[in-house]
Structure 1
Amino acid sequence: MPRPNVAQFAYGSATVICSALAMLLLSQARSGLGVIVIAFAALALGVLVALTAPAPRATRKRATAVGAAQGTPVPVQQPASTTAAAAAPAAAARIAEPTLRR
């Protein structure tokens, strides 16, 4: 399981604090058991928010390297040509190739 980033910690912590305060104010819980139930509910909600917060995407270099390590075909870049006559066959070949998207 990947480690949560700073934004996920911030979203989860803010959710725990705000939801706990809101539930305590709305329920007007005075007993210890009521406060404990609200605290656990706020914690569970904060964990849910932290886990569903979007994680940063992998960079293209890292995704390509991971794909190569897992046996996924990696596209090969062709060198750029300097003349239009040399570029025409390469452009036609690129158009004919099916594009792979994830």
Structure 2
Amino acid sequence: MPRPNAAQLAYGAATVVFATVALLLLSDATTGPGIALIGVASLLLGLLVVLTLPLGARRRARAHRAQAPATGRNEEIRVPAARP
């Protein structure tokens, strides 16, 4: 598995922070286990974002390769040059 790049880590970290804040505000959790559960859920969501972010780039690259015409694959005629 390739290592995540800086953009993937930034998206994952931002997801964790925003998800944690949003879930804490929406759930009104005040107990320790509730806050811990929200933290774990936010970390899992951030990990999911980091791991699935490259899939979109791979799909776009694969689709781009499928649409591009096949050029340079033995399509040109080679003529041997005269030897001096």
Tell me the TM-score normalized by structure 2.
0.66
Structure ID, larger Rg: 1
Change (3 A) 1:52 1:77: same
Structural RMSD (CA): 1.9
Name the count of aligned residue pairs: 62
Tell me the TM-score normalized by structure 1.
0.54
The runs of 5 or more residues in structure 2 that have no matched partner are 59-72, 78-84
Q: Structure 1 stretches (4+) deviating beyond 4 angstroms?
A: 75-78
Q: Name the aligned partner's letter for residue 39 of structure 2.
A: A
Aligned to 1:53, the other structure's residue is in SS state helix
**Structure holding more helix per residue:** 2
% identity of equivalent residues: 52
How far has the Cα of 1:8 moved from its partner?
A: 0.5
Counterpart in 2 of 1:18? 18
